[in-house]
């Protein structure tokens, strides 16, 4: 705050220390206008909301604290282009393993048009002891953090400070990984890492932050959260002045924008295709039995999964088909299935060449074939499968493994259809 401030009610310039907490001069504070009263009420309500939200965050994160935390590596979306408004973050930790090591200090500095406007810094009291190896690097001892708050409290204040800002850091993914792991939840801010940017712009033997400090003659305290934040901001601004740096960032932004548009186009095409599949399945269900009738038929289904699979293999062998390569699995839609292995080891379960399935649990029990209901003509009810089970698969409601003989030709067709999809 400067030496002088302007009263928002009367517009007069006064010495700042003569203003009240609301920024009003003494006369206006004694006789506030209705607008000022409403503004005060809104401010108080906002303070209460922020306090409640802070308490909720502290309780939520405190409940998750444990000596061993689950690693949360993923970061939010990357920021692209030349950034002018951002918040630089840095952490000091007891080690390199985010699951077992703790944060000792968090720093964040807010920049607007590359100018520092605010900062946040706090030591963090760990639940365990600080190893000597960590103290040698960051000079943080047990006495340094003796009166510091534990991580949940610091994290709540840190979240309030960064808001929705773009987060910048030197190897920032390390800091985000640590914060997210110790919090047990993800940050959703966009982020920009100065380390890979430096590697694109400069040709150096090593790319530690201290190496960049030396190259650009940047002083300040090393291995302190605030010192490293301010050094990172200076490095970022110096890198922008290097030859080709701005062009590189602009090209990266154009590339990211193009990829985003392509991603959105694919999403729209997928949504449109999914809608067509839903409409087609709805059309095929018009003359199908009701759900109540299908549940009644399901209760009549007998036999074990092994009996269905054995019968199917006998039918395929009788047709001269080698079933030695057939595999069994339980897809995510909770029915046992037979499939033909693909040469692609990275194929998702939903894309496997499943040609026969049997579901013997729940209200609806049926067998599954890799054919459309319009391709099947039998004495048993046949309806479209769910979208999760496949776009063109069918559920056939038959009472026992013995009745599989009556649909043998469709089992063979289902096998051939699935085999064709593997490209074999």
Q: What is the mean pLDDT of residues 195-209?
A: 94
Which string of DSSP letters, residue by residue, matches 154-210? HHHHHHHHHTTPPEEETTHHHHHHHHHHHHTS-----EEEHHHHHHHH---S---HH
Residue 63 has pLDDT above 60, yes or no: yes
Nearest-10 Cα torsion for 375, 377, 381, 382? -10
CATH 3.20.20.70, applies to 86-242: no
Contact 62, 152 (CB under 8 A): yes
pLDDT at 39 over 90: no
Q: Where are the domains of the chain?
A: 4-62, 86-242, 290-422
Lowest mean pLDDT among 42-51, 101-110, 171-180, 337-346: 337-346
Residue with tokens 């046949």: 382
Helix axes 34-62, 151-162, angle to 10 degrees: 140
Q: What mean pLDDT value characterizes the chain?
A: 90
Packing angle of the helix pair 245-284, 194-201 (nearest 10 deg): 130
Distance CA 176, CA 87 (A): 13
First to last CA, the chain: 74
Please give the average per-residue pLDDT across 312-327, as a whole number.
Answer: 93
Which runs of consecutive H residues, i.e. helices, occur in 285-366? 291-299, 305-318
Pick the CATH number of 290-422 from 1.10.3470, 3.90.1150, 3.40.50, 3.40.630: 3.90.1150
Q: Is the predicted pLDDT of residue 406 greater than 80, yes or no?
A: yes
Any idea of the CA torsion for 115, 120, 126, 127, to the nearest 10 degrees? -140
Nearest to 82 by CA among 195, 170, 168: 168
Q: The tokens of 333 are what? A: 């839609």
pLDDT at 357: 94
CA distance 55 to 292: 49
Domains 86-242 and 290-422 share a fold: no
Which pLDDT score, from 0 to 100, does residue 312 have? 96
Given a cut of 70, whether residue 347 has pLDDT beyond it is no
Mean pLDDT for the stretch of residues 63-75: 89
16 or 317: which carries more pLDDT confidence? 317
Lowest model confidence (mean pLDDT) among 21-30, 123-132, 236-245, 368-377: 21-30
- The residue behind tokens 């080891």 is 345
High-pLDDT (> 70) share of the chain, %? 95
| pLDDT given for residue 34 in this prediction | 74
pLDDT of 2 reads 61
Give mean pLDDT, residues 95-114. 96
The DSSP symbol for 389 reads T
Total-model pTM: 0.71
Mean pLDDT of 401-411: 95
Percentage of the chain exceeding pLDDT 90: 73
Distance CA 288, CA 186 (A): 46
CA 389 – CA 392 distance, rounded (Å): 9
Separation between Cα atoms, residue 240 and residue 368, nearest integer Å: 60
Please state, in angstroms and rounded to a whole number, the distance separating the CA atoms of residues 337 and 375: 20
Write 210-215 long-range contacts (CB < 8 A, 24+): 212/170
């Amino acid at each position: 705050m400067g030496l002088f401030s302007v009263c928002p009610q009367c517009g007069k310039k006064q010495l700042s220390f003569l203003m009240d907490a609301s920024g009003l001069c003494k006369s206006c504070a004694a006789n506030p206008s209705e607008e000022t009263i409403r503004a005060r009420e809104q401010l108080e309500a906002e303070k209460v909301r922020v306090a409640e939200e802070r308490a909720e965050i502290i309780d939520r994160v405190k409940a998750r604290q444990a000596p061993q935390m689950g690693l949360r590596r993923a970061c939010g979306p990357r920021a692209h282009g030349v950034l002018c408004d951002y918040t630089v973050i840095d952490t000091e930790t007891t080690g390199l393993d985010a699951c077992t090591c703790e944060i000792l200090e968090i720093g964040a500095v807010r920049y607007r048009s590359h100018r520092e406007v605010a900062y946040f810094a706090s030591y963090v009291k760990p639940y365990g002891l600080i190893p000597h190896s960590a103290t040698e690097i960051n000079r943080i001892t047990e006495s340094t953090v003796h009166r510091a708050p534990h991580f949940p409290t610091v994290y709540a204040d840190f979240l309030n400070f960064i808001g929705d800002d773009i987060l910048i850091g030197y190897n920032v993914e390390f800091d985000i990984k640590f914060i997210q792991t110790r919090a047990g939840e993800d940050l959703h801010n966009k982020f920009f890492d100065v380390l890979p940017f430096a590697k694109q712009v400069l040709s150096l033997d090593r790319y530690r932050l201290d190496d960049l400090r030396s190259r650009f003659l940047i002083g300040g305290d090393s291995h302190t959260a605030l010192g490293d934040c301010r050094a990172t901001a200076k490095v970022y601004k110096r890198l922008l002045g290097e030859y080709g740096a701005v062009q590189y960032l602009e090209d990266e932004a154009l590339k990211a924008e193009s990829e985003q548009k392509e991603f959105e186009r694919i999403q729209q095409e997928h949504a449109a295709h999914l809608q067509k599949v839903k409409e087609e399945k709805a059309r095929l269900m018009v003359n199908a039995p009701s759900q109540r009738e299908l549940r009644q038929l399901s209760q009549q289904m007998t036999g074990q999964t092994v009996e269905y699979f054995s019968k199917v293999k006998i039918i395929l062998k009788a047709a001269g088909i080698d079933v030695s390569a057939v595999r069994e699995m339980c897809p995510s839609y909770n029915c046992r299935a037979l499939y033909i292995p693909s040469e692609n080891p990275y194929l998702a379960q939903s894309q496997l060449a499943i040609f026969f399935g049997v579901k013997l649990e729940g209200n609806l029990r049926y067998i599954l074939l890799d054919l459309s209901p319009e391709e099947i003509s039998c004495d048993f009810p046949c309806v479209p499968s769910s979208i999760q089970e496949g776009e063109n698969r069918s559920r056939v409601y038959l009472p026992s493994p013995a009745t599989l003989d009556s649909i043998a030709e469709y089992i063979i067709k289902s096998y051939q259809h699935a085999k064709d999809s593997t490209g074999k």
